[in-house]
């Protein structure tokens, strides 16, 4: 099969690029390694058949928030008709100290002012993918090699030909592809040096029939030096106040190192529930259901180098050595290499916007 533009990766960046190209009437094909679209975006949906009325509500297993001032996200949310709402932030924050003492302070919930989506962030992916021609979206297509003449080779053995190739996957995963001709050592080093934002994290979500912590004057926010959850937040949808059918939720980032939690899903789950009960009372040990997502174990998100969590947000962007590769036929489109807000959802949209503009300026000869 031949195409003008091959997009490799169906996360928010690659999919938004496909969305821009489809609107501009361009010829493209998108290839995604997983059996689903969304990449780092995943939400637990329709948790139980007996709670069917929860419909499109989503509980985020990847990103949860975007913030005022992230104009691309605001525009996209509006264009797709997704409903945003404020992160719940009323009430006291808890702190669990190293000695196990639980302090109930009057500090503000740390994500006050952030926005979430009623559908879960997953609603963005569903909304962007919905108008795209399904025959241009190829799931279960993991790229393994690419040639300067536009030949693409997939792990499953298929081959495609493209005029231009856009790698919409984390730079460290791009570094593991077989390039022909090979990248220079400097280019290879540049790719492996760019950490996948949040790639070493794991999230634990517990759903409850009601937000009982709010009744106790708690915001659901907690910081812990004991763990296993290091940082906890209310993850309930807004309907939780009106509609008892919409389960309330708490989520936490697992503070254990990736290697220590490897193969320990059950043990982490039990320890997380015990911790939630310590913090929020015995009801917290009785969830309707739980979900656990370890991104460090996802081969199409993280590499072994991403196992250690980052201490701070890196300064991202496209290094000079990765610009204008293969006379402009090879480009990147991923949040970490975005011109703005690298690492964030906003960065994924910025990367797609920039790449769409570049492709529009230089239509295929
Ligand atoms: C736990 C967690 C919490 C986060 N919280 C927030 C938050 O609250 N707010 C925020 O703004 N951001 C947050 N982020 C970051 C946000 O998720 C990312 O910025 C964004 O999703 C990146 O999208 P992307 O398309 O650039 O990359 P990805 O989502 O990584 O997409 C890359 C795609 O490429 C595919 N792929 C990989 N290798 C291949 C291959 N060989 N062939 C074909 N396809 C391949 C992958 O399967 C994937 O679909 C969080 C991330 C995580 C993991």
SS3 assignment, position 137? strand
User: 335 CB less than 6 Å from ligand 1?
Assistant: yes
pLDDT for residue 48: 47
Write out the DSSP string of 43-99.
EEES--GGGGGGTT-EEESS---B-TT-HHHHHHHHHHTPPEEEPP--SEEEEE-TT
How far is ligand 1, taken at its centre, from the CA of residue 321, in Å? Answer: 23
Q: Do 285 and 207 lie in a common domain?
A: yes
The rounded distance, in Å, linking the Cα atoms of 240 and 141 is 39
Phi, psi angle pair for 14, to nearest 5°: -65, -40
Bridge partners (DSSP) listed for residue 162 = 3
Q: Do 25 and 127 lie in a common domain?
A: yes
User: 10 CB less than 6 Å from ligand 1?
Assistant: yes
pLDDT for residue 50: 44
Long-range contacts of 48-52 (CB under 8 A, 24+ apart): 48/288, 48/289, 51/245, 51/247, 51/288
User: 255 CB less than 6 Å from ligand 1?
Assistant: no
In a domain, 168, yes or no: yes
Which residue among 272, 297, 322 closes a domain?
297
pLDDT for residue 54: 45
Q: % helix / strand / coil in the chain, to the nearest 5?
A: 30, 25, 40
SS3 assignment, position 109? coil
pLDDT for residue 110: 85
Which residue among 268, 297, 326 closes a domain?
297
Name which of 306, 297, 356 is nearest 336 in CA terms.
306
pLDDT for residue 105: 78
The rounded distance, in Å, linking the Cα atoms of 334 and 166 is 10
Count of the separate structural domains present in the chain? 2
pLDDT for residue 66: 98
User: 285 CB less than 6 Å from ligand 1?
Assistant: no
The rounded distance, in Å, linking the Cα atoms of 294 and 311 is 18
Name which of 301, 87, 297 is nearest 197 in CA terms.
301
User: 32 CB less than 6 Å from ligand 1?
Assistant: yes
User: 343 CB less than 6 Å from ligand 1?
Assistant: yes
Separation of first and last alpha carbons in the chain: 18
CATH of the domain at 324: 3.50.50.60
CB 335 within 8 A of CB 304: no
CATH of the domain at 114: 3.90.660.10
CB 258 within 8 A of CB 307: yes
In a domain, 303, yes or no: no
Reported as type and span, the H/E element at residue 230 is strand 229-234
How far is ligand 1, taken at its centre, from the CA of residue 306, in Å? Answer: 13
Nearest C-alpha to atom 10 of ligand 1 is from which residue?
Answer: 344
Nearest C-alpha to atom 37 of ligand 1 is from which residue?
Answer: 300
User: 203 CB less than 6 Å from ligand 1?
Assistant: yes
How far is ligand 1, taken at its centre, from the CA of residue 301, in Å? Answer: 7
User: 165 CB less than 6 Å from ligand 1?
Assistant: no
Q: Do 59 and 9 lie in a common domain?
A: no
SS3 assignment, position 117? strand
pLDDT for residue 57: 67
C-alpha distances (whole Å) from 81 to each of 20, 78, 121, 242, 248 are: 17, 5, 13, 21, 23
What's the pTM value of the predicted model, to 2 decimals? 0.96
How far is ligand 1, taken at its centre, from the CA of residue 283, in Å? Answer: 34
Enclosing domain of residue 180:
1-41+121-197+313-365
Q: Write down the H helix ranges in the chain.
A: 12-23, 71-80, 122-129, 171-175, 185-192, 212-215, 258-261, 265-280, 345-361
Running along the chain, 365 residues long, what does each successive block of 10 average in pLDDT?
Answer: 96 98 97 97 66 61 97 97 94 95 83 93 95 97 98 96 98 98 97 96 95 95 96 90 76 96 96 98 95 96 90 91 96 98 98 96 66
The rounded distance, in Å, linking the Cα atoms of 239 and 85 is 10
In a domain, 268, yes or no: yes
CB 220 within 8 A of CB 211: yes
């Amino acid at each position: 099969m031949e195409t003008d533009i091959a997009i490799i990766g169906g996360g928010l960046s690659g999919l938004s690029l496909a969305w821009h190209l489809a609107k501009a009437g361009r010829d493209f094909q998108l290839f995604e390694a997983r059996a689903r679209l969304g990449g780092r975006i995943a939400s637990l949906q329709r948790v139980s058949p007996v709670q069917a009325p929860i419909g499109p509500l989503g509980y985020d297993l990847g990103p949860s928030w975007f913030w005022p001032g992230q104009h691309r996200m605001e525009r996209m949310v509006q264009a797709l008709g997704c409903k945003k709402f404020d992160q719940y932030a009323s009430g006291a924050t808890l702190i669990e100290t190293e000695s196990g003492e639980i302090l109930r302070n009057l500090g503000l919930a740390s994500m006050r002012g952030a926005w979430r989506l009623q559908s879960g962030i997953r609603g963005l992916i569903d909304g962007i993918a919905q108008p795209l021609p399904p025959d241009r979206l190829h799931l279960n297509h993991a790229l393994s090699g690419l040639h300067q003449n536009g030949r693409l080779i997939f792990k499953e053995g298929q081959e495609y030909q493209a005029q231009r190739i856009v790698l919409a996957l984390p730079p460290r995963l791009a570094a593991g592809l077989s390039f022909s001709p090979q990248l220079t050592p400097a280019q290879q080093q540049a790719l492996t040096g760019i950490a996948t934002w949040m790639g070493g994290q794991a999230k634990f979500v517990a759903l409850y029939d009601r937000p009982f912590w709010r009744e106790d004057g708690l915001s659901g926010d907690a910081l812990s030096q004991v763990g296993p959850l290091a940082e906890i937040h209310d993850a309930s949808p807004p309907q939780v106040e009106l509609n008892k059918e919409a389960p309330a939720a708490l989520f936490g980032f697992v503070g254990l190192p990736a290697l220590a939690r490897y193969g320990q899903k059950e043990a982490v789950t039990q320890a997380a529930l015990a911790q939630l009960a310590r913090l929020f009372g015995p009801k917290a040990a009785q969830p309707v259901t739980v979900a656990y997502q370890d991104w460090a174990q996802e081969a199409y998100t993280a590499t072994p180098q991403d196992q250690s969590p980052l201490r701070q947000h890196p300064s991202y962007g496209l290094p000079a050595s990765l610009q204008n590769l293969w006379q402009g036929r090879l480009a990147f489109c991923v949040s970490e290499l975005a011109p703005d807000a690298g690492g964030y959802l906003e960065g994924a949209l910025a990367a797609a916007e920039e790449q769409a503009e570049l492709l529009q300026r230089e239509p295929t000869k």
